Amino acid sequence: MTRKLIIAMAQLNQRVGDLSANAAAMLEWRAKAWESEAGAEAVCDLILFPEQQLIGYPAEDLVLKPEFQRRAAEELERMAKATADGGPAMLVGSILKEGDALYNIVALLDGGRIAAVRKKHELPNYGTFDEKRIFAAGPLPGPVEFRGVKLGLPICEDGWLPAVSKHLAAAGAEILISVNGSPYEIDKDDRRLEEVFAARVAETGLPLLFLNRIGGQDELVFDGCSFVLDANGKAVHRLPDWQEHLRITHWQSEPHGWTCKPGALCAWEDHPADIYSAMVLSLRDYVDTNRFPGVVLGLSGGIDSAICAAIAADALGPDRVRCVMLPSRYTSQESLDLAAECAAMIGCPLDTIPINPAVEAFDTMLSGSFADKQVDITEENVQSRIRGVTLMALSNKFGHMLLTTGNKSEMSVGYATIYGDMAGGYNPLKDAYKMTVFAISEWRNAHKPAIGLGKDGPVIPPAIITRPPSAELRPDQKDSDSLPPYPVLDAILHGLIEQELSVDDVVAKGHDRSIVQRIERLLYIAEYKRRQAPPGTKLGNRNFGRDRRYPITNAFRSG
């Protein structure tokens, strides 16, 4: 007798800590999955949700609060009771406290009860993950019997390593279901499918469903990109990236095992479109979840602020983005004209607030203390800090979050003013090197992201992209006065940061030793600034913050 199974995959957003709202959303999507099969021969049997979807991921130390644990348990029981209506069972990620141990779990809710629980065995403890300091490791899990089918339920990291899946297959699992909270990183979507989970299928000979969430959570952003692999490792379903999505999958048993009826294979964005969408979604969720009415930012006529304004407009809509030009005596007419043109192209309002009166006031205030001292970078930083104070005043008065616009190349070497242009609540460019900024600017002028709310067509004047970068804090200033050309600087930084190479290693790639030594020194001494920088979108696997944790006080040099 042929057995059949209908499994729904709910690729959802979340809100960390909003237990009742997360539970309500899952019940709503369960209803959608049930209704989607109305009138068909069979109704949906099971709906899957991402890892820790009930509590939000990552909830970090929130999960250690006893009241949080109690409410999570209450909501899980409430959801379980809802399944007494004869509709689809639910596979829900949450937490479980047993004695002194806290576990990362998935619970099968069926027939009005918690029918089964499986605990995460492999706890990631690298990069952004700190699960070993929070959770206890569960035992190697056995399969769960459901509607006469043995389901293997590796939870995220359990599927990234081979042991759990092999154990499940040996114990008789017929289908693997891996629910994940897998943050976006460059090239990670293809690696998940083609390398990691294709390997699990090859090792076990079992078909596999991989489910991931979408949405931003502080510095992390989740891209979705869920999929189904048949027993040969071929993708038979691919869910979209960056969007919530419900996918109904139809399964039936064959003499050689379970097969899934093929469905839509959604195309996933290539570079740099995926980077841009990551920034858009992470900023949107940060602003909206924290209930800001919009954002405000300084629009200088330079490329960093221009692309940040474009990202903000695509994330929130142009009407929620307020741009401000803050000219000084060193601001060129070209910058004024380009800022105005850029704001018009994006569709954002632009205010102009000259800072000369404040600069002159500071000059007068400090004239006694600075007597007999030469003008230097101090006066440049005063200008930047006046701009920061002005933008923060607008933020306080109108409630808009201040968006900061420094890129990773600048932050790596400290080419930013603490309490000045570093002031703000979020930075979408935090993990983007300068050459990435150029790439996404050119891409956005030729394309609009599928999730974008901004205008169609170009949004950045071409002259902003082609003009030499400058902070315009002194006459005829250029970034190249203080830094190597950005292609050179980014290559050196990529070696020192992303690859953790020594000075000798980077020099061996063809770079000048004195320049590499200088860049390494600047990288280390700027750590104190980065510790005080706002959060921003994580793009790679060595972002400043949770991925790369260096001491501020550090005498080591590699060359």
What are the C-alpha distances in Å from 460 to residues 136, 331, 433, 457?
50, 19, 18, 10
Q: Which of 263, 254, 264 is nearest to 231 (CA)?
A: 254
Alpha-carbon span 276 to 462, nearest angstrom: 18
Determine whether 47 is exposed, middle or buried from the number of CB atoms within 10 Å of its CB (0-12, 13-18, 19+). Answer: buried
301 membership: H or E segment, kind and range: none
- How many helices (H) does the chain have, and how many strands (E)? 18, 19
User: Which residues are known catalytic residues?
Assistant: 51, 120, 156
Determine whether 124 is exposed, middle or buried from the number of CB atoms within 10 Å of its CB (0-12, 13-18, 19+). Answer: middle
Determine whether 53 is exposed, middle or buried from the number of CB atoms within 10 Å of its CB (0-12, 13-18, 19+). Answer: buried
3-state secondary structure of 157: helix
Alpha-carbon span 246 to 69, nearest angstrom: 29
CB atoms within 10 A of CB 174: 20
Strand ranges of the sheet holding 295-298, from the earlier edge strand across to the other edge: 350-352, 321-325, 295-298, 401-402
Q: Which of 223, 276, 267 is nearest to 443 (CA)?
A: 276
Q: Which of 269, 136, 140, 286 is nearest to 221 (CA)?
A: 286
Q: Please give the structure tokens belonging to residue 250.
A: 């139809």
3-state secondary structure string across 174-227: CEEEEECCCECCCCHHHHHHHHHHHHHHHHHCCCEEEECCEEEECCEEEEECCE
What are the C-alpha distances in Å from 226 to residues 49, 108, 234?
11, 20, 14
3-state secondary structure string across 444-477: HHHCCCCCCCCCCCCCCCHHHHHCCCCCCCCCCC
Block residue for tokens 């709910």:
10
Q: What ranges in 41-108 are assigned the alpha helix state H?
A: 66-82
Polymer length in residues for the chain: 559
Alpha-carbon span 481 to 545, nearest angstrom: 28
Question: Residue 192 corresponds to which amino acid?
Answer: R
Alpha-carbon span 389 to 405, nearest angstrom: 15
Q: Please give the structure tokens belonging to residue 287.
A: 């602003």
What are the C-alpha distances in Å from 422 to residues 3, 262, 286, 297, 534?
60, 49, 18, 11, 8
DSSP 8-class letter at 25:
H
3-state secondary structure of 146: strand
Q: Are 324 and 391 in contact (CB under 8 A)?
A: yes
